Structure 1
């Protein structure tokens, strides 16, 4: 890891640079255009000619010195601009760090309004600082897992899937507005090359709104997404093993190569959905709407349940 110079070291470098610059201005013109020697002047018999030659030589040195001064002046201006830009960048990084820390503190508040403010603050951090987007995504996913768990497999966990889909379950916006907002933010986040797959396994997002959400490659294994409203959602290559997707609206959804093994899609709206290459082994599609859906190259087995036509 590169070590930063101490203030003393930086000062010594500046002093050395100034001395070298002065030496260049003073001596370089004389080295490039050295004064005429006595021997060379004696060769010129005309006195006025000798004086003219000396003046020309002096003018050449003066012109070169002026050019060097202009060049050094430009370097000083450039160095000042670089230093100013560096200070602005450091100030910006400090502001981003402060906002990020404050937003994380807000997420732990007992006040719903404060938590919502922290979520939107994190979204602003991700928008203004692309390098922090993977961290913000990780924090938001963790927030959803903590505040909306669906503890499949735990000793006191819920039955998965439940016997029935309760139509009286309120929209997530009303039931847990902070979780809905976190899901919205994740669904509209810009892509980032260094971001890991979104991990939302075993979460309770029943009756959530995720229209056109960008969730490609997400891990939603064993999640409860019953009655979720997500037309045009992007779930390409998503892992939806044993997910509860009953009565979901996934019209025009992109589900190419999604892992939907043992998923529960009874009464789901999959009209015009793109399911090319999806794994439907053990998937229950009883009474699902598949009008216009692309089912080319899907993987199925004898346990796949298709809607009765």
Structure 2
């Protein structure tokens, strides 16, 4: 506590004490003025005059007692307020300390330490709504920096790759810190103003994100080949040119998602919801659904065009029966 604050507290306490003392001395006399000799002159009996003076004194003492009780109540309320304020300050200090430590941990060269820091950030986000957006941004940056897929850059990988690497270990084995970061992002608490998760051009091959919530996420040109995405929420997500070949998208929520030019060859989309999804490619190839499983896939309102590639046997008549809207061309 600074000297100025200390003097302010002392001055406030002295002022409050002065007000209390003045009130105790002045208010009872105002409410119940003392009886003068002139007021009592008409009462002949001495005992009656004494009794009246005593009752007057009792009334004034009652006022003083009430004022003291009120003062005590105010002090209790003020003390509770000060205690709450101190608890809040202490909590903010603890959160700041935990946040700083977690940031240091995710920047460590030790993978186990990074994983601990990621879980610490998840816990802070649950306890502190004010820090959730910042933590989401940090987690997105962590994934982009530690698992990039620079498709389109001069030295970047071919996108999509010639074949899906079936021998590539699952993400939880080859990069467990990325798996944890994505899991934390997928479990983040929902809010009415959910910010966008930016995960474009990242390597998420063989990641497991069952039932994760990533609605509205930006995943343009990202590699999710052979990923386990059953039940994932990707409503309104931008998956333009994303590599989703051989991915497991059963029961996935992809309503209104942008899947233009997405690579979905061999993807399992059974029972998935693609209502209103954009599968068009305009002047280039549209979504490639070659060999994709579309059993009981919801396609009502999905938009396609002549560049969209469908599985064998999924002719125009079947597409119309499933409610797909196709641009002329």
TM-score higher than 0.5: yes
- Which stretches in structure 1 are left out of the alignment for 5+ residues? none
Structure 1 position 194, deviation (Å): 4.6
- 1:33, 1:18 → 2: CA distance? 23
Tell me what 2:312 maps to.
Answer: 308
- 1:141, 1:190 → 2: CA distance? 15
Residue-by-residue CA offset, 1:122-148 (whole Å, 9 max, x unaligned): 112112222211111111111000000
Residue-by-residue CA offset, 1:270-308 (whole Å, 9 max, x unaligned): 111111111111111111111111111111111111111
- 1:153, 1:111 → 2: CA distance? 31
Tell me what 2:320 maps to.
Answer: none
- 1:95, 1:246 → 2: CA distance? 45
Structure 1 position 18, deviation (Å): 2.1
- 2:148, 2:156 → 1: CA distance? 10
Structure 1 position 44, deviation (Å): 2.5
Contact 1:134 1:192 in 2 (8 A): no
- 2:137, 2:10 → 1: CA distance? 42
- 1:212, 1:225 → 2: CA distance? 15
Q: Tell me if 1:119 matches 2:118.
A: yes
Tell me what 2:325 maps to.
Answer: none
Tell me what 1:284 maps to.
Answer: 288
When normalised by structure 2's length, the TM-score is 0.89
Query: How many aligned residue pairs are there?
Result: 305
Tell me what 2:301 maps to.
Answer: 297
250-259 or 20-29: which moved more? 20-29
- 1:209, 1:280 → 2: CA distance? 24
Tell me what 1:130 maps to.
Answer: 129
Matches within 5 A, 1:7-86: 7-86=6-85
- 1:291, 1:15 → 2: CA distance? 79
Contact 1:35 1:57 in 2 (8 A): yes
Q: Over aligned residues, Cα RMSD in angstroms?
A: 1.3
When normalised by structure 1's length, the TM-score is 0.95
